[in-house]
Amino acid sequence: MVPLLLLLATAGCKGTQPAAKKSDNRYQRKPIVERNDEQLKTEAMLIDAKMLYEKGDEEAAARRYGEVLTRDPQCSAALYEMSRMAAANGMGDSAIALAKRSVDIDGENIWYVMNLATLYRLTNHQKEYIKTLETIISMRPTVVEHYYELSDAYTMNKDYKNAIAVLNRVEKMVGVSEVVSMQKAQLWTAMGRDEKATQEIEALAKAMPQVGRYSGILAEKYMQAGKYDKAKEYYDRVLAANPDDEYIHLSLAEYYKATKQPRLAYDELKKWLGQSKLSTTNKLQVLTKFYTSEEFYGIHSQYAFDLIEVAMRDADDSTTFAAFYGDILMRQRKFEAAAHQFELSLSKDSSKYDVWEALLVSELSSYSDTARLAQHARRASALFPMHTLPYYTLSVVEHDNGRYEKALALAKKCELMGFDNGYLEPETYMLLAECYNRLNDARCYEYYEKMLKLNPNNMQVMNSYAYRLALDKKDLEKAEQMSKKTLEAEPNNHYYLDTYAWILHQMGRDKEAAVYIEKAINSGATSEEELEHYNAIMKAQ
């Protein structure tokens, strides 16, 4: 069997003689009125070679094409087919040589020229590829696709100027179009001529005012350039062209944010939420990205939180977003509503301790249903026995129900478990101090001292500590100093007034005590204990 490479090489050597003149060339692709036997035989051999190739017998096909070229070295059809065979076998140079010969012989055959152009492109002969494309365009000047190919070729060669020139030729043929204008805009941008790029899109927007997208592109460009007035002009055009475009409101929100008009940005976001068909997940993603953390939880929180509520009204799965929404409600001090959201979240997945913690904190803050709070705390302590908050919560409930021994045991458990970076340490010490206080146990002093060491300016602790000392008639000077400090901080607090009056009474200074106990009574929030103190002090004067 003769190797394909040898056959191609042999075929390549047959064309050294000059091509016949156009008038003498029998194989020009034009109508043949009569065919002689030689012509018919050659055509039959060409057909036979083509059939052999289609059957997969490349060697036999190449041999037959070689026979054709032996009979007629100027047979452009055989050269064309052998060029294609060489290209399919990765023989780029041979393919190009054969293709060039086919074009030299029959330069008017568009398929031969296009084959040569393809080979130049595939072998990265950019200059030759461009030149051949120009030839193709001269042969088929009305076929727009060839102009696009030529423009792409110039672009690949980084000759952006000529690429644009070719597209200008297309524009003269078909008018302003998105394909051409956007491609030219990209080329101008690549050349560093952003103003020219903008002009291209402006021409497109002018030619097709009914298509708001082009105005939107221009608006974004002007936004990026900081030209906010121009951006607004084009955003308004988008809105006029398509009032139902949901994304225009999102774009306008960005515009108002950039121009420091947060209220208007909020209004546009609310409109967008009203029109958007996005999922709740995507809506929340947009909102949390629109505002920085400082804005979301700080300076624009009133807008951000309201928008989150709007997004959540039509939530497709409220349990999925309940924990996030609960956090937002907590930050607004809407503790009961927040607790409801955390319960929703836990109904779907009870394995997340941070959600349990948020639920307990919310319920401790609202403190509206202690039975439910205790129920949740017991469940959390069973699921997460190594965390202190559930035990602390149970201790608070037991204390407030007057079960001080149980409260004390739970608080001591918290203390024994330790405090991670001080978490719940002051609260636990305060609880222990109050439990011991209620049980008339002197160990309360130890925890009052621990509390004041952690926070020397805690007025509530100082008041409780001072009052306990007064009841025990112990360290009254120290008690008086602490109580006086609380009154300096809050002179109209009737609890602090009562404590100070009772300390003065224990010190035998009833005339001074009367002034403070009367002020406490006159505050309008009087307890039985304060009335008892009032009577005792007035009687002792």
| pLDDT at residue number 230 | 92
Report CA-CA distances (Å) from 406 to 361, 440, 514.
Answer: 21, 15, 39
CA atoms within 13 A on the CB side of 82: 34
HEC per residue, 358-385: HHHHHHHHHCCCHHHHHHHHHHHHHHCC
Regions of the chain short of the pLDDT cut 70: 1-35, 316
Which of 433, 475, 472, 473 lies closest to 453 in space, CA to CA?
A: 433
Q: Please give the single-letter amino acid code of residue 298.
A: G
Cα 168 to Cα 166: distance, rounded to the nearest angstrom? 5
Tokens for 412, please give them.
């001591």
Q: Is 283 exposed, middle or buried (0-12, 13-18, 19+ CB in 10 A)?
A: buried
For helices 262-275 and 301-313, the axis angle rounded to 10 degrees is 10
Are 457 and 486 spatial neighbours (Cβ–Cβ below 8 Å)?
Answer: no
Q: Which ranges in the chain are annotated with CATH 1.25.40.10?
A: 1-18+29-139, 475-541
Q: Please give the single-letter amino acid code of residue 226.
A: G
- Check residue 140 and report its DSSP letter: S
| pLDDT at residue number 377 | 97
**What φ, ψ does residue 440 adopt, rounded to 5°?**
55, 40
Which of 224, 232, 289, 237 lies closest to 261 in space, CA to CA?
A: 232
Name the pTM for this structure.
0.59
CA atoms within 13 A on the CB side of 235: 23
**C-alpha torsion sign, points 220, 226, 230, 233:** positive
Are 147 and 137 spatial neighbours (Cβ–Cβ below 8 Å)?
Answer: yes
Alpha helices (runs of H) in 92-241, residue ranges in sequence order? 92-105, 110-122, 126-139, 144-156, 160-174, 178-190, 194-207, 212-224, 228-241
Which of 303, 230, 301 lies closest to 269 in space, CA to CA?
A: 303
Are 247 and 269 spatial neighbours (Cβ–Cβ below 8 Å)?
Answer: no
DSSP codes joined into one string, 317-356: -HHHHHHHHHHHHHHTT-HHHHHHHHHHHHHH-TT-HHHH
Which of 472, 498, 471 lies closest to 483 in space, CA to CA?
A: 498
| pLDDT at residue number 150 | 96
CATH number of 475-541: 1.25.40.10
Tokens for 444, please give them.
């309360």
**C-alpha torsion sign, points 119, 123, 128, 130:** positive
Tokens for 484, please give them.
């006086």
Cα 304 to Cα 297: distance, rounded to the nearest angstrom? 8
Cα 538 to Cα 541: distance, rounded to the nearest angstrom? 6
| pLDDT at residue number 273 | 92
Which of 125, 121, 126, 112 lies closest to 82 in space, CA to CA?
A: 112
**C-alpha torsion sign, points 421, 424, 429, 432:** negative
Q: Is 92 exposed, middle or buried (0-12, 13-18, 19+ CB in 10 A)?
A: middle
Domain 1-18+29-139 architecture: Alpha Horseshoe (1.25)
Kindly tell me the number of DSSP H helices and DSSP E strands found in the chain. 31, 0
Cα 112 to Cα 105: distance, rounded to the nearest angstrom? 10
Alpha helices (runs of H) in 2-106, residue ranges in sequence order? 4-12, 37-54, 58-71, 76-88, 92-105
> What end-to-end distance do the CA atoms of the chain give, in Å?
135
Q: Which position has the token pair 């003769």?
A: 2
Are 180 and 188 spatial neighbours (Cβ–Cβ below 8 Å)?
Answer: no
Report CA-CA distances (Å) from 49 to 3, 92, 100, 366.
Answer: 16, 21, 21, 92
